[in-house]
């Protein structure tokens, strides 16, 4: 528990965390100090002067709030005439050469310059001379597009490449009106986190080539989620929109703050995984490659289960903890073997020392919690002599050669429950569409043994079946996510005493001994 101090803001007493700067300390109790250059992950640069405040303790008349720590008894003034005038002056300075092209700017609706103009400025332009023209639509690499005219020179993007990725591709060149952000000639952005500069940029000067001109920010519903791109489990916003007469579509993933997992950032590859949620979806059930009704396909699989002599359930390291548990119970009921074989989800050496992990699945740690064997030897033994193989979102084509998968599909009936039309779904005699990662709720345990939960974010016009529901129709005893959670806390030692309906937003750290490493 952090120490608290009492101070006064415009005469009103507030209790805030000590040691923080005034922007964060006072911001935490809902009082805004406008700022452009400060960002908690990058520290105070002190270049924009938008955060100037008065302190009645003998200091110089005004101080930058980003560089001033909250202290006991401090008397902070935010609304004197002098401060208001400085805020208006800074806004006027920022806007002198700005193109004011909000109607075609992707940042409109989430732009600090726009918001602060409305809140702290509101003056008409006094400019009678032509503005200084700068470069537009600059391809900075990694899908980042820069507009020099919109830039307020806060240097957040520059500091990101110096302090966070330590790649230093960006700099501010020239002086005064001619100062601008640029890359070094012939050296574009070349790091795996580059698109974070789009989120960091407080204005529309850094935009994403992928998102540009696709949606207005105010039409987007911003739901919370967890990235499935690797075992880090970065917290994200899922920005989606259902336009009239159309289905709900995801337009982007953005990082969501979780100090214990990903801080303020996410990697570019994870950001782009939103496309899998929209594209190449398995939307209809298939029997031997032919479209069929969902109920008919479920019935066909139920028949196959009742007739099979040896069944193998292949669980995915991307299944939620609840799904894994429900599948395990179902497997026990029909005397099936369970395997989590998924070597192909791991790219050895691809991870780094920041966020990106070798393991491109989100929940392998839950294999250990539930005792699911993911070894190749275990898989080979399980499929030997099997006449029905049911893959639960596990795309075996990632782990097996095409020949091996063909041989498997030739030796036994292959069934697939998944959200996308991947190679495994194509080979399956029975393919059943189920809800994707953003369309159902569940629990994941990340590479650092942090248990996190996500809720349903996207609801389609015709929602896909929840996987646990389909498993229950096949003969599983668990009907839904809630029943799975109740069963999990009763059955899994590491989860005893944890209320899986009340997991805190930042997640719950399990002790390392509870989640030993599982080799893929
Ligand atoms: S591009 Fe954006 S983040 Fe970079 S200096 Fe300009 S305003 Fe700041
Ligand atoms: S580091 Fe992993 S979890 Fe985080 S955004 Fe990238 S792929 Fe997703
Ligand atoms: S936020 Fe303090 S000077 Fe920019």
CATH of the domain at 349: 3.40.50.740
pLDDT in tens, 7-38: 999 999 999 999 999 999 999 999 999 999 99
Ligand 3 centroid distance, CA of 167 (Å): 24
Same domain, 372 and 452: yes
End position of a domain, from candidates 53, 79, 105:
79
End position of a domain, from candidates 39, 55, 79:
79
pLDDT in tens, 452-502: 999 999 999 999 999 999 999 999 999 999 999 999 999 998 999 899 999
Same domain, 309 and 383: yes
CATH of residue 15's domain is 3.10.20.740
Same domain, 154 and 240: no
For residue 247, being part of any structural domain is answered with yes
End position of a domain, from candidates 157, 186, 208:
208
Same domain, 484 and 469: yes
pLDDT in tens, 221-255: 999 999 999 999 999 999 999 988 999 999 999 99
Same domain, 255 and 163: no
| Predicted pLDDT of residue 57 | 80
Same domain, 493 and 403: yes
Q: The tokens of 264 are what?
A: 């303020």
The answer on pLDDT for 519 being more than 90 is no
The answer on pLDDT for 520 being more than 60 is no
Q: Is 148 exposed, middle or buried (0-12, 13-18, 19+ CB in 10 A)?
A: buried
Atom number in ligand 3 closest to CA 67:
2
For residue 213, being part of any structural domain is answered with no
Atom number in ligand 2 closest to CA 253:
5
| Predicted pLDDT of residue 1 | 62
| Predicted pLDDT of residue 379 | 98
Ligand 3 centroid distance, CA of 18 (Å): 19
- Give the number of whichever ligand sits closest to the CA of residue 152: 1
Euclidean distance between CA atoms 395 and 409, whole angstroms:
13
| Predicted pLDDT of residue 58 | 79
Ligand 1 centroid distance, CA of 205 (Å): 6
Same domain, 385 and 256: no
CATH of residue 109's domain is 3.30.70.20
| Predicted pLDDT of residue 61 | 86
pLDDT in tens, 388-397: 999 999 999 9
**Residue list, ligand 2 pocket, CB within 6 Å:** 227, 229-230, 232-234, 262, 266-267, 269-270, 355-357
pLDDT in tens, 107-159: 999 999 999 999 999 999 998 989 999 999 999 999 999 999 999 999 999 99
Same domain, 133 and 44: no
For residue 298, being part of any structural domain is answered with yes
For residue 86, being part of any structural domain is answered with no
Host domain of residue 422: 285-514
Q: What is the pTM of this model?
A: 0.95
Nearest CA, atom 4, ligand 2: 234
Atom number in ligand 2 closest to CA 271:
5
CATH of residue 260's domain is 2.20.25
Kindly state if the Cβ of 144 falls inside 6 Å of ligand 1: no
Ligand 2 centroid distance, CA of 360 (Å): 8
- Average pLDDT, rounded, for the chain: 95
For residue 89, being part of any structural domain is answered with no
Same domain, 110 and 182: yes
Same domain, 391 and 407: yes
* Number of domains within the chain: 4
| Predicted pLDDT of residue 512 | 42
Q: How far is CA 196 from CA 23, 164, 200, in A?
A: 22, 10, 6
Same domain, 237 and 372: no
Beta-carbon contacts of 297 under 8 Å, excluding residues fewer than 6 positions away, are 285, 286, 287, 430, 431, 432
Q: Which of 215, 203, 243, 249 is nearest to 97 (CA)?
A: 203
| Predicted pLDDT of residue 60 | 80
Same domain, 427 and 361: yes
Q: Where are the beta strands (DSSP E) in 321-462?
A: 337-339, 388-392, 413-418, 430-433, 442-445, 450-454
For residue 500, being part of any structural domain is answered with yes
| Predicted pLDDT of residue 406 | 94
Nearest CA, atom 3, ligand 1: 201
For residue 215, being part of any structural domain is answered with no
| Predicted pLDDT of residue 2 | 75
Q: How confident is the model over 166-170, as a mean pLDDT?
A: 98
For residue 520, being part of any structural domain is answered with no
Q: How confident is the model over 45-69, as a mean pLDDT?
A: 93
pLDDT in tens, 328-345: 999 999 999 999 999 999
């Amino acid at each position: 528990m952090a120490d608290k101090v009492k101070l006064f803001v415009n005469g009103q007493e507030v209790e805030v965390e000590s040691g923080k700067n005034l922007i964060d300390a006072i911001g935490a109790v809902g009082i805004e100090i406008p700022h452009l250059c400060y960002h908690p992950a990058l520290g105070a640069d002190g270049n924009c002067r938008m955060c100037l405040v008065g302190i009645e303790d003998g200091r110089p008349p005004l101080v930058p709030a980003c560089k001033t720590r909250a202290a006991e008894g401090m008397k902070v003034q935010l609304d004197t005439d002098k401060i208001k005038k400085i805020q208006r002056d800074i806004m006027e300075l920022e806007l002198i050469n700005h193109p004011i092209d909000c109607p075609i700017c992707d940042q409109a609706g989430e732009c600090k310059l726009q918001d602060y103009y409305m809140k702290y400025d509101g003056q008409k332009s006094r400019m009678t001379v032509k503005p200084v023209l700068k470069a537009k639509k600059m391809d900075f690499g990694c899908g980042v597009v820069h507009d020099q005219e919109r830039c307020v020179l806060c240097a957040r993007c520059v500091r990101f490449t110096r302090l966070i990725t330590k790649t230093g591709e960006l700099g501010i060149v020239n002086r005064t009106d001619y100062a601008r952000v640029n890359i070094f000639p012939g050296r574009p952005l070349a790091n795996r986190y580059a698109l974070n500069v789009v989120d960091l940029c407080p204005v529309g000067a850094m935009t994403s080539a992928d998102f540009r001109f696709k949606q207005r920010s105010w039409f987007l519903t911003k739901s919370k989620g967890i990235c499935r791109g690797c075992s880090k489990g970065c917290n994200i916003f899922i920005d989606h929109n259902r336009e009239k007469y159309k289905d709900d579509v995801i337009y982007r993933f953005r990082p969501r703050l979780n100090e214990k997992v990903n801080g303020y950032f996410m990697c570019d590859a994870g950001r782009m995984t939103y496309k899998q949620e929209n594209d190449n979806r398995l939307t209809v059930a298939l029997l031997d490659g032919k479209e069929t009704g969902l109920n008919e396909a479920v019935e066909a699989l139920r028949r196959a289960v009742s007739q099979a002599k040896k069944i193998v359930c292949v669980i995915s390291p991307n299944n939620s903890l609840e799904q894994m548990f429900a599948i395990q119970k179902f497997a026990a009921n029909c005397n099936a073997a369970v395997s989590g074989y998924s070597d192909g989800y791991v790219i050895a050496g691809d991870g780094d020392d920041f966020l990106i992990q070798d393991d491109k699945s989100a929940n392998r740690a839950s294999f250990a919690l539930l005792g699911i064997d993911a070894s190749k030897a275990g898989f080979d033994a399980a499929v030997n002599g099997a006449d029905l193989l049911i893959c639960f979102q596990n795309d075996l084509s990632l782990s097996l050669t095409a020949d091996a998968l063909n041989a498997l599909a030739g030796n036994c009936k292959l069934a697939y429950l998944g959200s996308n039309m991947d190679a495994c779904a194509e080979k399956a005699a029975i393919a059943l569409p189920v809800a994707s990662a953003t369309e159902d709720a569940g629990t994941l345990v990340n590479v650092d043994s942090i248990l996190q939960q996500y809720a349903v974010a996207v609801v389609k016009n015709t929602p896909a079946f929840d996987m646990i529901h389909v498993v229950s129709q096949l003969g599983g005893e668990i009907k839904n996510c809630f029943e799975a959670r109740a069963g999990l806390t009763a059955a899994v030692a590491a989860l005893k005493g944890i209320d899986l309906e009340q997991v805190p937003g930042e997640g719950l750290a399990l002790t390392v001994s509870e989640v030993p490493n599982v080799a893929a």
